Amino acid sequence: MGEPEDAGAGTVATDLPGTGQEPVRTDEPAAGDDRPAGGEEDALLVLTAALLTPAQFPGALGDDFPEACGRLRLPPLPHGYGLILGQDGAGARWTVVVDDVSLVAVAIASWDCGMEYELTPAPRAIVATLPGWPLALAVAAPGVPAPHDPDLSGDPEAPEILRPPSVSGWGPAQRRLGADEISRQWSTWRAEFTEGEESGAEEGAAEGGERTGKGTTAGGRTEPVTEEGAGTEGGERAADGDGDGVTSAIPENAGAFVAPGSEPTAASVRAALAEARAYLDAPPPPGRIRSAFASEEARLLRVDGPGWSLVARTDDMAFVLLDAVPGEVIPVERGPRLPALLAGLDALAARS
């Protein structure tokens, strides 16, 4: 939800700060004049755009909307912002923040449909011009030098250059990026899980339900760990179907789902679900629960918390990712308690 599109087109006319200059807002045009100000030397070549609103923002930026805004040093205004990422004529990276969210949303929707759309906001819509990019891009503008950070070394009071989160190891940003990817590719991940279940059932039947290198099977089925065990003496496992079933998964080439590898992992998932349930009594900051259209009868949820992310369809199951379990995607099978939890979270969510 809210990831940038690498299909931008257009220019943004803005007074880009030179060496030693702090980013400033473009001068206001004459009343009633919505044409961009500035000349070609000030134009920003648009590469991509993203929304930064309570309902949609790149997960790499934070667990919630205020945290995401904080990374760009912006106040978390309720209507949010549009982010336009591009290069100036010298190839330097810049991020233009606009308050015309609808304009950016239309551009992204057009690019999603394979249509051309020249994203050129009016100068009065520009809130800030920030050096660098907060997100990693694999594209570059043609006809200009390769993307690089602008040189602001001449001004000791110059703002910090925006840079994307490190991808050198597993951490909160990678966990949220993984959850965002599952959200965008829900059908693919759901199909992978179904195929994994069917494969596990066949192997379990052939091997008599014994423990294998791919996990534990019981009676030819993947043995679920349930939320009912959370908070009980000895961490008891409820019978299959008696609660929110939790099974571990190790993603490999789009995901290979297996049974839990350890009780600590299952306990961590139960703890995350308990924290999500606590949101029903104490709503979290805006954007920590987000809801998007999935079908006429269902919504797609993205929920984050300290150390965990959840992706779910209100009419189906859920997937959990944990900081403490690097690179793993943990399916939460549908049980009696999960539908009520998802419905409650959806009622609190920022909707798109």
- What CA–CA distance (Å, rounded) separates 52 from 69? 8
Q: Which residues pair with 313 in a beta bridge?
A: 300
Q: What is the pLDDT of residue 196?
A: 58
For 216-249, letters b (16+ CB in 10 Å) and e give bbeeeebbbbbbbbbeeeeeebbebeebbbbbbb
* HSE-up of residue 252 (Cα within 13 Å, Cβ side): 8
250 DSSP assignment: E
Q: What is the pLDDT of residue 246?
A: 45
Strands 126-131 and 217-218: unpaired
DSSP string, 259-300: --S-HHHHHHHHHHHHHHHHTTTS--STTSEEEEEEETTEEE
Q: Which long-range contacts (CB under 8 A, 24 or more apart) does 343-348 make?
A: 343/314, 344/277, 344/279, 344/280, 345/276, 345/279, 345/280, 345/289, 345/291, 345/301, 345/303, 346/291, 346/299, 346/301, 346/314, 348/279, 348/280, 348/283, 348/289
Q: What is the pLDDT of residue 234?
A: 31
DSSP element (H, E) containing 151: none
User: What distance lies between CA 223 and its chain's CA centroid?
Assistant: 30
Tokens for 325?
A: 């379990």
270: left (phi over 0), alpha (psi -120 to 50) or beta: alpha
- What CA–CA distance (Å, rounded) separates 285 from 169? 27
Q: CB neighbours of 191 closer than 8 A, spacing ≥ 6?
A: none
Per run of 10 residues, the mean pLDDT along the chain (length 352 residues) is 55 45 34 41 85 95 96 95 96 96 95 91 94 93 92 85 88 94 92 69 45 30 43 30 40 39 78 96 97 93 96 95 91 91 96 90
Residue found under tokens 């760009």 = 72
27 DSSP assignment: P
- What CA–CA distance (Å, rounded) separates 17 from 26? 10
Q: CB neighbours of 293 closer than 8 A, spacing ≥ 6?
A: 299, 300, 352
Cβ-based burial of 78 (10 A; exposed 0-12, middle 13-18, buried ≥19): exposed
Sheet of 126-131: strands edge to edge? 11-13, 43-52, 81-87, 93-98, 126-131
Q: What is the pLDDT of residue 238?
A: 27
Q: Determine contact, residues 133/95, Cβ cutoff 8 Å.
A: yes
**Cβ atoms within 10 A of the Cβ of 18, count?**
11
pTM of the model: 0.74
Nearest to 254 by CA among 326, 178, 189, 187: 189
Q: 3-state DSSP call for residue 258?
A: coil
Q: Helix crossing, 338-348 with 263-278: angle to 10°?
A: 40
Q: What is the pLDDT of residue 248?
A: 36
Q: Determine contact, residues 321/334, Cβ cutoff 8 Å.
A: no
